[in-house]
């Protein structure tokens, strides 16, 4: 199963760890001592989230497609 969900990553001073959250999958989050570790952990948690939802016959939301226009126009500067 391809995991194409937005992941929000930030440093938590309180936890002294990087936190990775998946807003579209309620309660889906993980942490790690490094950015990469948190990302690896959240990928495992996302897979487990999906498997649990399937077992419980709960809906799995489609990933939100986001598009960003990174081009700047001189009138916007």
Q: Is the pLDDT of residue 13 over 90?
A: yes
Q: What is the pLDDT of residue 64?
A: 86
Q: What is the full DSSP assignment across 8-71?
A: EEEEETTTTEEEEE-TTSTT-EEEESSHHHHHHHHHHHHHHHHHHHHHTT---PPPPP-----P
Give the pLDDT of residue 19.
Answer: 98
Mean pLDDT, rounded, for 1-7: 82
């Amino acid at each position: 199963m391809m995991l194409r969900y937005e992941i929000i990553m930030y440093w938590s001073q309180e936890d002294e760890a990087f936190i990775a959250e998946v807003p579209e999958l309620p309660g889906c989050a993980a942490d790690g001592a490094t950015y990469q570790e948190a990302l690896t952990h959240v990928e495992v948690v996302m897979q487990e989230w999906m498997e649990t939802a399937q077992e419980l016959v709960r809906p799995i939301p489609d990933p939100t497609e986001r598009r960003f226009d990174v081009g700047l126009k001189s009138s916007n500067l």
